[in-house]
A and B are shown apart, each in its own frame.
Chain A
Amino acid sequence: MNVFWQEIKANTKALIIWSICMVLLVASGMAKYTAYSAGGAGSEAIKSLPESVRALLGINDFDVTMMAGFFAMLFLYIELALAIHAVLLGSGIIAKEERDKTTEFLLVKPLSRASIITAKLCAALVNILILNTITFVASDFFTKQFNDGKAITSELLTFFFSLLLVQLLFVTLGAFFAATLHNPKSSGSLAVGVLLLSFFIGKITDLTSNLDVLNVLSPFKYFDYALMVQGDRLDVLTVALTFAASVLLTVGTYVFYRKRDMSV
């Protein structure tokens, strides 16, 4: 438990900063809604954009003049931000002992390596859950503010549940990299690199439907936000597969971290 609390404490400051930034992102993003929705003129302008441009802006499937559609456009950036947070957190929380050369402190304590991983992953889980919740509450609040008080809470719940799964996937991906790679300094940048690559793959498959098979490489495309806008539930199979991938990465984290020589 002491490692868990130590990690919670060590990440508090970062969590607060991330939370403030997410609230500001949601607030400033929603403030632009009036420009899109007012009188429908904005909507006409958007509809007249070529499809590829709309795809790059992340709005080709959504009616951005409606609150849920507009939020779906904004959500892409929220998702990207929280995914970056998750992947950095996951790799950092494991790699930091080697990066800061504190393995000779922590790993000679009467703890198994597995129990250290468990404590750290739990702490990371709490962090992503808190950040997800705060962003959800902010989104719910600001969508009401700019939507004449009408809430889209049930759509938002679907959005943020799917986001939690994406965060989970990236936090375990980061941890997996940190557990397998020998150089603790490279795991964070590599994890972010993989994340950005998967983000761009998602962008590319937006442009042409021929490459849709590549979507499996992009967790940003696992969930269909156009359907969520219409109030649909999440696809159970996708949820299960995403979760399974996280579990697999977690198992890999334990296996590799237990076997490995620590760099000191």
Chain B
Amino acid sequence: MYAIELKNLTKQYGAERGIIDVNIAIEQGEIFGFIGPNGAGKSTTIRTLLGLIKPTSGSATIFGKNSVQHPEVRKEVGYLPSEVFYYDNMRVVDLLKYSASFYKKDCNKRIQELAKVLDLDLKKKINDLSFGNKKKVGIVQGLLHEPKLIILDEPTSGLDPLMQQRFFELIEAENKKGATVFFSSHILSEVQRLCDRVAFIKKGKIIQLERMSVLKEHSYKRVVIETKTDVDKDVFALDGVSDLKQAGNSVSFIYKGNINVITEKLAQLELINLSVEDPDLEEIFLHYYEKEG
């Protein structure tokens, strides 16, 4: 039995595109990345899976059950929405206890633990919290009942790097205990570090599904260099180079492949300036997946 199974899942909002023919099967115990630019349909997929919206056609099941017909299956689900909104005039601890009350088990100890790890003040009122702190409430709320399936929609937005780190550690620990994780994001690098498999979604369609091991062979880098002398055009005529732009003695391109190959090339040049950055997802899509999609 799959933790999540989406079969030909389609959701259309009137004439507007939502998601089209999405097929994903996630094994239990897996960390599954769901990657796509904003507006690609990531949240729509999750909301359909959770029964907040109804599919136009196709099916979505959690542990083999449809979550609308069998709401009890949601007991095993912890969900962190991309934007967290709670009852404003409740205190954090009251909200978390309210949340815990739906799962019929004692979650107090877990709440205290998680709040400590994330450095969250439980006594504050929800509407006094910053965006990042609300996100922390969302994380605690999603994990407090130790769910078997954790669904995360853009979980790191609003968290500072230290908290992101702690958050990843939490998720890894839950996964070690056996939880399946469905991780939606538009940042490839954070998915890269955690996930076993990744699905790419664009304009509502899954365009690629890859094992992380395959993806990890490649790192994607945007390289910008300035050289003392003009560079021969053919120097960068390599596999894995795209979006090559050359203007006088400045060159920019995206590189996919073994980093050592490219650093060797660069070492042969006399550089004035060099920058190597993670390209954003849109760029990766544009130059590596567009054609395949």
Q: How large is the interface on B (under 10, 10 to 19, 20 to 34, 35 or more residues)?
A: 20 to 34
Known: A100-B88, A110-B75, A262-B53. A105 touches B141 (CB 8 A): yes
Known: A2-B101, A6-B98. A108 touches B86 (CB 8 A): no
Q: Which of B52, B77, B102 contacts A111 (CB 8 A)?
A: B102
Known: A100-B85, A102-B87, A264-B47. A107 touches B52 (CB 8 A): yes
B73 (CB) vs chain A CBs: closest residue:
A110
**A86-105: contact bitstring with B at CB < 8 Å (1 yes, 0 no)?**
00000000000000111111
Known: A6-B98, A101-B83, A105-B86. A261 touches B103 (CB 8 A): no
| B158 in contact (CB, < 8 A) | no
Q: Which positions 45-71 of chain B face chain A at CB distance < 8 Å? A: 47, 50-54, 71
Q: Which residues of B contact A103 (CB under 8 A)?
A: 52
B43 nearest CB across to chain A (Å): 8
Residues of A within 8 A of B (CB): 2, 6, 10, 100-105, 107-112, 259, 261-262, 264
CA distance A109 to B98 in the complex (A): 11
Q: Are B52 and A262 in contact (CB under 8 A)?
A: yes
Prevailing SS type, chain A contact patch:
loop
CA distance A186 to B79 in the complex (A): 29
Q: Which residues of A contact B79 (CB under 8 A)?
A: 104, 108
A108-B51, A111-B71, A264-B52 given. 18 additional CB < 8 A pairs?
A2-B98, A2-B101, A101-B85, A102-B86, A102-B87, A104-B52, A104-B79, A105-B81, A105-B141, A107-B51, A107-B52, A109-B99, A109-B102, A110-B71, A110-B72, A110-B73, A112-B71, A262-B47
**B126-145: contact bitstring with A at CB < 8 Å (1 yes, 0 no)?**
00000000000000010000
Q: Which positions 113-165 of chain B face chain A at CB distance < 8 Å? A: 141
| B205 in contact (CB, < 8 A) | no
Q: Which residues of B contact A108 (CB under 8 A)?
A: 50-52, 74, 77, 79
B18 nearest CB across to chain A (Å): 10
CA distance A102 to B137 in the complex (A): 13
Q: Are B51 and A2 in contact (CB under 8 A)?
A: no
CA distance A46 to B92 in the complex (A): 59
A256 nearest CB across to chain B (Å): 13
Q: Which of B54, B73, B102 contacts A261 (CB 8 A)?
A: B54
Q: Which residues of A contact B98 (CB under 8 A)?
A: 2, 6
